Homo-oligomer: A and B are copies of this chain.
């Protein structure tokens, strides 16, 4: 067998999910807009059936809403939505940080987490906001993975998707998150030393601060819908 990449025969339904997600995240299907199933099917070059199934999947993920006779509606994200999302992330990630600390990981198992912090610092030096955001995503994802709770990882990934949609707008509005890295290092150290309570506390404070900053930003700039 050739060692090439997966010869994965993806179903059209799965392809539709991917493509629609891309279209939504790229803003080509703008928040609040409605799209007929037949229109999307035409655009994706397949029949309505797999598109319909993809729409159901995306609805379960909270990205769209399927309305009878009005097509699939790309859900907008209000300030209140962002508040809810950040609170869920705060609760679950903080718990994950604590659980990670309880696992007694060897330092080498924490290399990826450490690397994301280094990458964030590098990005900050270069004032590269995109790179910082990408590394920040990796940090939070890895943190949750280390927590060892698959359901938490799934839920957090869903919520993080929503945050990412909003970031297109918010990333360049806020000041560079210089303070964040102290928090990240603190969480890492707490995990290394096995101090679960401290890991939870630091991360919770970190998320709360992020939320506060973002909320103020959204309210100031009157970006009530994304």
Contacts and interface: CB of A to CB of B under 8 A. Distances in A.
Contacts of A57: 56, 60
A19 to B, nearest CB: 17
B155 A88 contact: yes
A51 interface: no
A196 to B, nearest CB: 13
Contacts of A87: 95, 99, 149, 152
Interface residues on A, range: 20 to 34
A87 B95 CA distance: 8
Contacts of A198: none
Contact of A53 (B56, B92, B149): B56
A112 interface: no
A84 B151 CA distance: 7
Contacts of A92: 88, 91-92
Interface string A37-66: 000000000000000110011001110000
A95 B151 CA distance: 18
Rank and list the top 7 A-B pairs by shortest CB-CB distance, nearest first: A60-B60, A91-B95, A91-B91, A84-B151, A84-B149, A56-B56, A88-B151
Interface of A: 52-53, 56-57, 60-62, 84-85, 87-88, 90-92, 94-95, 99, 149-152, 155, 159
Given A62-B151, A91-B91, 18 more contacts: A52-B53, A53-B56, A56-B56, A57-B60, A60-B61, A84-B150, A85-B151, A87-B95, A87-B99, A87-B152, A88-B151, A88-B152, A90-B95, A91-B92, A91-B95, A92-B92, A151-B159, A155-B155
12 contacts: A53-B56, A56-B56, A56-B60, A60-B60, A60-B61, A62-B151, A84-B152, A87-B152, A88-B155, A91-B94, A91-B95, A92-B92
